[in-house]
Amino acid sequence: MAAPTSIARSEHNLSSRNIDGDALKVIRRLQQNEFETYLVGGGVRDLLLERRPKDFDLGTSAHPNQIKKLFRNCWIIGRRFRLAHIKFGAKTLEVATFRKKVPPETDTERKAREAESAARREAASRDGTKPRRIIPRDNTFGTAEEDAFRRDFTINALFYDASNRSILDYVGGMEDIRSRTIRSIGDPNERFLEDPVRMLRAVVLAARLDLSIDPAVSAAIRKHRGEIVHSSPARLVEELYKVARSGSSERIVRDLSDTGLLRHIAPELDRTRSDALWRSLGALDRYRRRFDDSPPSLCNAVLLGSLVSSFTVIERPRRRAAREPLSKRPLEVALGVLPVARRDVERLRQIVDLHGRLTGAPLSPRAKRTLTHRSAFADALTWIEIHGDNPELAEQWRAEAATQPDALDDAPRPRKRRRRRRRRGPRSGEGGGEPSAGGETPSDG
């Protein structure tokens, strides 16, 4: 086992004062119980790049059940790989046991696994139980070194040791932090074939953090960009939403188009590349950067609308003729083969409808009260702030909503449901009859 390069506190700029206090408490308690534990991944990377981390994730040698024994506020989640979530109020810290990279299974191993799976299904069928799903190859614990080498890029494989404030570097990530370079751990061709989403992440990281991409990584992306279609569609949709939330969506989408990835992920976006698309994403980025310290919660529907507004009818929602086709056009195809959740499509329809009414002709007091109590009202105001011709209108509507009585006072009261009386059969001594229309017959008691 190779020893990592240990970078003393005097040789790096990461200060423990910038680390979440609860994360430090968790690290220290695990270390006091003789478990190797570090701050890992993007949190270390962002702090070294003098950025505010979104999350403070921890890596440890402790197994999930061992973590749970030490923290009463711990929940174990996950099926493919179990993780510990430690909750502090509304905040959640993710603690993952070190994992190791498992080599691709051989034909013999695959056949043995399939035979074992078939045997479990047959046994479950005989017993009348549900077969247990086991994925051992994705649930293999390892050492800190093995965990570092299974990560995607060198800048994401640095570990911070709170006990002596040093940084452990197994893969040369510190040098790439200093040169601001995204470099693959191992051969990028192999790593991208293992997980094609890594290609997208390389482009996103470079744009969001203003980094350069190693030439070998760029060449591998261009060579294997078509492999991205083999990734989980739901995972790609989530990655696109992350792009939209990033505050750098315009640059990222441009870079994804330049590398050729976008044409395989969302062909409509790639074909558009119009001024309307760049205006939409630029407006979204400016809104996001206004709240850099505490970014607002942007619902998926607002993000979806920002991505597709340049090539769908929602670009001009005020006109009734432009709004009506939206309810008839299947927005599920707006992102190509990617499955947009039905709830997000429906929410977007509500936002578009509200946008047209809130920015249209003057309304009666009763109509205003109705609109301010619509479930999508807050999201529609966010849409106006981002994409409206008059963003100040959103504040005017917020002031209007503040003067309205509570929605619960105005909402129609639900009708009291009457209990349906069960029809009884004929009493003894009375004439017989047919069973009731519902098919109910008297009980034999």
Tokens describing residue 223:
């060579």
What are 305-328's pLDDT values in tens digits? Answer: 998 877 664 433 344 444 444 444
Tokens describing residue 362:
């003057």
Q: Is the dihedral of CA 107, 234, 273, 250 positive or negative?
A: negative
What does the radius of gyration of the chain's CA atoms come to, in whole angstroms? 28
**What stretches of 329-413 show up as alpha helix (H) in DSSP?**
342-358, 365-372, 377-387, 392-403, 407-410
- In a 10 Å sphere around its CB, with 0-12 CB exposed, 13-18 middle and 19+ buried, how is residue 421 labelled? exposed
Q: Which of 22, 107, 127, 152 is catalytic?
A: 152
- Residue by residue, pLDDT tens for the chain (445 residues) are 678 999 999 999 999 999 999 999 999 999 999 999 999 999 999 999 999 998 999 999 999 999 999 999 999 998 778 899 999 999 999 999 999 877 655 667 566 756 766 776 676 666 665 444 444 455 689 999 999 999 999 999 999 999 999 999 999 999 999 999 999 999 999 999 999 999 999 999 999 999 999 999 999 999 999 999 999 888 999 999 999 999 999 999 999 999 999 999 988 888 888 888 999 999 999 999 887 655 667 899 999 999 887 766 443 334 444 444 444 444 444 565 677 888 888 898 899 889 989 988 888 989 999 999 999 999 999 999 999 888 889 999 999 898 877 643 444 455 555 566 665 555 555 444 444 444 444 444 4
Q: Which of 57, 147, 161, 285 is catalytic?
A: 57
Residue 127: C-alpha distances to residues 116, 121, 134, 275 (Å): 16, 10, 18, 62
| DSSP secondary structure of 3-34 | PPEEE-GGGS---GGGS-HHHHHHHHHHHHTT
Tokens describing residue 302:
């607002």
Note the pLDDT of residue 346.
Answer: 86
195 is catalytic: no
Which residue do the tokens 């040369």 mark?
A: 172
Instruction: For the chain, give every domain's residue range.
Output: 1-102+140-179, 185-298, 322-410
Tokens describing residue 368:
């205003």
Closest by Cα among 12, 42, 39 to 95: 39
| DSSP secondary structure of 140-179 | -B--HHHHHHTSSBGGG-EEEETTTTEEEESSSHHHHHHH
Same fold, 1-102+140-179 and 185-298: no
CATH code that applies to domain 1-102+140-179 = 3.30.460.10
49 DSSP 8-state letter: T
Q: Which CATH number fits domain 185-298: 1.10.3090.10, 3.90.230.10, 3.30.2420.10, 3.30.2130.30?
A: 1.10.3090.10
147 is catalytic: no
Q: Which of 20, 22, 55, 195 is catalytic?
A: 55
